[in-house]
């Protein structure tokens, strides 16, 4: 094809160590690169969308979301970078383009990692909601946000390192600043890490009845700094997470069965035959009641005013109300059987013997 002499002169004219033809080729590469990358993006997304309809995994959805989130400016920059690499330009231009490429790639790498975290966190949070553990879902979301912050901080440091910045001194400075902040926020951070400890170790969860020191109550909410209990009296008790993780906790929700020990006393005037019948009477009563397992019944001691028997049995349930219902039933039946057998229960008495 014959080119006009004036156009040929322009194409052959050198400018900044490149001819007009070189710039024309670079522009063609720039435009074709943008078109090619956008078509590739559309092809990949289309293929993945067809694949996503056939699979149940969320990985393809995550990849589609990632590619759809890449803006056209990124493809324009990639095309510009490829085009400029074909030209002979001052070193500073190449250095600037390299820096911009590192920043762009680092940013989108961090975005991809954050998408993975979002996918994992959303699945775990949904599972926690299905199990009706709202506090676990909240903790998972908070951990996910902290993880994403960590990802972008790491990406920022890696970008600086690739740009030739000595990050050792920066990290040292951040370390000193972090120590100062940690000292200032020591109490808050202790409670924060304690909340993570409670989440991962799960010594208790909402709905559990626990005893912490002299305080008792049902766990209603586990927060980042405090945990809230509803006491038996009805008021709300707020305890710091640090105190909970450093204290002994009795969790009655974890109890599979409850061991019960109680004593009864009969009068000293009770005959030996009746004393021997008492253990069997109590055994029969407990065996009749569902949800119990008898351990032992013994004539234990001669008390100050009564002959004392000790009874040990198990309630095969952790529910406190059920235990009280069973104990009430046992007490009523003992009273009824003792009345039939004419066995009199003792009460505090004192006998005075007068000598003449």
Same domain, 111 and 15: yes
Same domain, 58 and 12: yes
Same domain, 139 and 239: no
From first to last of the 356 residues of the chain, give the pLDDT tens digit: 555 566 556 556 666 677 777 878 888 988 888 888 888 888 877 877 777 777 766 666 777 777 777 777 888 888 888 888 888 777 787 788 888 888 888 888 888 888 888 887 787 777 766 666 555 666 677 777 778 888 888 888 888 887 777 767 666 666 555 555 545 455 666 777 777 777 777 788 888 888 888 888 888 888 777 888 998 888 889 988 888 888 888 887 777 888 999 999 999 999 999 999 999 999 999 999 999 999 999 999 999 889 999 999 999 988 888 999 999 999 999 999 999 999 999 887 766 767 76
Say if strands 209-212 and 258-266 run parallel, antiparallel, or are unpaired: unpaired
In a domain, 176, yes or no: no
Helix ranges (H only) for 185-296 are 186-201, 241-245, 272-288
In a domain, 152, yes or no: yes
Backbone phi, psi, residue 136, to 5°: -65, -40
Same domain, 121 and 242: no
In a domain, 347, yes or no: no
In a domain, 178, yes or no: no
In a domain, 325, yes or no: yes
Number of domains observed in the structure of the chain = 3
Give the end of a domain, one of 125, 149, 165: 165
In a domain, 190, yes or no: no
pTM of the prediction? Answer: 0.48
Same domain, 262 and 241: no
What's the CATH number where 206 sits?
2.30.30.60
Same domain, 269 and 234: no
Same domain, 131 and 152: yes
Same domain, 23 and 123: yes
- Owning domain of residue 240: 195-247
Same domain, 266 and 129: no
Q: What is the DSSP string of 98-131?
A: HHHHHHHHHHHHHHHHHHHHHHHHHHHHHHHHHT
Same domain, 98 and 221: no
C-beta of residue 258 within 8 angstroms of C-beta of residue 317 = yes
């Amino acid at each position: 094809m014959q080119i006009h002499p004036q156009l040929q002169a322009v194409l052959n004219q050198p400018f900044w160590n490149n001819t007009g033809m070189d710039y024309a080729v670079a522009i063609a590469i720039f435009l074709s690169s943008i078109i090619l990358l956008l078509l590739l993006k559309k092809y990949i997304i289309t293929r993945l969308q067809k694949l996503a309809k056939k699979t149940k995994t969320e990985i393809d959805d995550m990849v589609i979301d990632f590619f759809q989130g890449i803006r056209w400016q990124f493809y324009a920059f990639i095309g510009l970078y490829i085009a400029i690499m074909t030209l002979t330009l001052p070193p500073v231009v190449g250095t600037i383009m390299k820096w911009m490429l590192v920043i762009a790639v680092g940013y989108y790498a961090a975005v991809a990692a954050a998408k993975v975290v979002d996918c994992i966190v959303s699945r775990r949070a949904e599972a926690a909601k299905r199990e009706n553990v709202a506090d676990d879902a909240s903790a998972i979301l908070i951990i996910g946000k902290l993880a994403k912050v960590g990802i972008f901080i790491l990406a920022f440091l890696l970008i600086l390192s690739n740009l030739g910045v000595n990050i050792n001194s920066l990290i040292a400075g951040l370390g000193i600043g972090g120590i100062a902040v940690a000292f200032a926020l020591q109490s808050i951070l202790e409670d924060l890490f304690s909340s993570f400890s409670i989440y991962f170790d799960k010594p208790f969860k909402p709905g559990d009845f626990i005893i912490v020191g002299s305080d008792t109550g049902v766990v209603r909410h586990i927060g980042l700094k405090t945990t809230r209990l509803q006491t038996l009296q009805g008021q709300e008790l707020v305890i710091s997470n640090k105190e909970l993780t450093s204290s002994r906790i009795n969790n009655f929700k974890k109890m599979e069965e409850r061991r019960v020990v109680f004593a009864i006393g009969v009068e000293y005037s009770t005959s030996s035959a009746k004393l021997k019948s008492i253990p069997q009477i109590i055994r029969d009563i407990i065996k009749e009641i569902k949800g119990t397992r008898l351990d032992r019944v013994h004539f234990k001691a001669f008390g100050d005013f009564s002959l004392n028997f000790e009874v040990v049995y198990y309630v095969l349930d952790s529910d406190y109300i059920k235990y009280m219902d069973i104990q009430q039933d046992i007490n009523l039946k003992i009273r009824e059987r003792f009345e039939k057998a004419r066995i009199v229960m003792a009460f505090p008495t004192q006998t005075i013997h007068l000598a003449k």
